Amino acid sequence: MRSITLALSLLLSLTFTTQAEVIATPINEAEAPKTVDVIIETNMGKIDVELNAEKAPISVANFLQYVESGHYNDTIFHRVINNFMVQGGGFDRHMRQKSTRAMIKNEAKNGLKNDRGTLAMARTGVVDSATSQFFINHKDNDFLNHGGRDYGYAVFGKVTKGMDTVDAIARVRTKSGDVPVNPVIIKKIYVKPVEIEAATNK
């Protein structure tokens, strides 16, 4: 919990407005981490992810708030399409939709592309409607980028280890609605502990 709180405090300060939009407030760039490492632990293996807090500060801060609250614990990848993407973060294992925080501003113009292994915010047809759901691109999906067909989908991180787990998830058998027959469970998501070198007295 301390690692998450630290990561959030170092990110730019965000205010959720009553209009359900996130507005970033200026901070000293030297104090903000450029990346935050998290682990997505599933019943099919672990996925290491590097969140890009420099180019997607709103999306990353939003994601970390859900992580800190335990929102993702025991949720599922509820939409899985092989050779496209795997999507989760919004439903529990009984396919009950979870309540969410306010919708956030779409950061699809940040220059990050929906390439294989990247994480992006899922949303409705409304541009600024992302909340807790995210997806991992299983291949390069250029048509999801800003200007590809519409405003685009905001990329905010990338898989650094465990793409084999994503591949395995993408291959599971699905039923109507692209829902896995056997639930693919997100046990928990947590910030990777920072490794601190032990001080040596010489």
For tokens 């709180």, what's the residue?
A: 5
Q: If DSSP codes are grouped into helix, strand and coil, which group holds residue 61?
A: helix
> What pairs with residue 158 in β-bridges?
50, 118
Residue 12 lies in a domain: yes
Residue 196 lies in a domain: no
Residue 88 lies in a domain: yes
Distance separating alpha carbons of residues 121 and 91, to the nearest angstrom: 15
Structural domain boundaries enclosing 158: 2-191
Check residue 194 and give its pLDDT: 77
- Distances, alpha carbon 71 to alpha carbons 92, 167, 170, 172, in Å: 10, 24, 23, 24
Check residue 171 and give its pLDDT: 98
Neighbours of 126 (CB within 10 A): 10
- How confident is the model over 46-76, as pLDDT tens digits? 999 999 999 999 999 999 999 999 999 999 9
Residue 200 lies in a domain: no
Check residue 31 and give its pLDDT: 65
Residue 93 lies in a domain: yes
Residue 161 lies in a domain: yes
Q: Is the dihedral of CA 179, 121, 129, 84 positive or negative?
A: negative
Check residue 10 and give its pLDDT: 43
Distance separating alpha carbons of residues 45 and 99, to the nearest angstrom: 26
Check residue 148 and give its pLDDT: 79
What mean pLDDT is reported for the chain? 87
pLDDT in tens, the chain (202 residues): 545 544 544 443 333 333 344 443 334 455 668 999 999 999 999 999 999 999 999 999 999 999 999 999 999 999 999 999 999 999 999 999 999 999 999 999 999 999 999 999 999 999 999 999 999 999 999 999 999 789 999 999 999 999 999 999 999 999 999 999 999 999 999 999 876 544 445 4
Residue 60 lies in a domain: yes
pTM for this predicted structure: 0.84
Residue 201 lies in a domain: no
Check residue 49 and give its pLDDT: 98
Q: What's the total number of domains in the chain?
A: 1
What is the domain-level CATH number for residue 86? Answer: 2.40.100.10
Residue 151 φ then ψ, to 5°: -65, -30
Check residue 149 and give its pLDDT: 82
CB-facing half-sphere around the CA of 24: CA atoms within 13 A: 20
